[in-house]
Amino acid sequence: AMMMDEISTGLDAATILDIMRHLRNAAIILRFGVVVSLLQPAPEVAATCDDVMLLAQGQVYYYGPWKKVLNYFRPLNYACPLTKDLCDFLLVIATDEGASDMIDKAAPGGHKSLPKLVAEYAISAVRAEVEQRMSEPETDSAEQFKGKPRYTVGLLPAVWLMLRREGLVLKGD
């Protein structure tokens, strides 16, 4: 696993988006996890993530698939206004300013405080789904790779390729 903290500090949006895309590709190809903490990322950057964890005051009020985050908060009476950045909306929900993003401001219970959001998440189907995924055994185990050669190309073919390339280089000069 690779863990990174605030990698966006001092970088422009295009650069951080490029970095996140490369990290995602590396994680998929090399089959390892990447945990990145980002401060107020652009929605395009957050969309490169499979899962997202929303924290406030050290408490998790959402952890699950990025694609399901809006659908998770809608039944809790929150919807992202068209005029607001999605990531800003997700961060503001856990603050007193989050009341302005409620769908029905007169709904019973009103704006949910952080402890209520944390409690709602604790009993949510999203959390149960995440726990189910985490409890499943990994499909890639070390036994799969035992007995396979360390190098995919043997010594003689590698030497032959090197000599052939060198011949082409010398011929081109």
Beta strands 34-37 and 59-65 are: unpaired
CA 4 to chain centre: 12
109-133 pLDDT per residue, tens: 677 788 888 999 999 999 999 888 8
Structure tokens at 44: 């395009």
Q: Given this model, what pLDDT does residue 41 score? A: 85
Question: What percentage of the chain carries pLDDT values higher than 90?
Answer: 18
Closest CA to 43 of 84, 15, 93: 84
CB-CB contact of 95 with 56 (8 Å): yes
- Domain limits, the chain: 1-49, 66-138
Which tokens go with 139?
């499909």
Q: What is the mean pLDDT of residues 46-70?
A: 90
How high is the pLDDT of residue 147?
A: 66
Query: How does pLDDT run across 74-110, given as a tens digit for each residue?
Result: 888 888 888 888 888 888 888 877 777 777 676 666 7
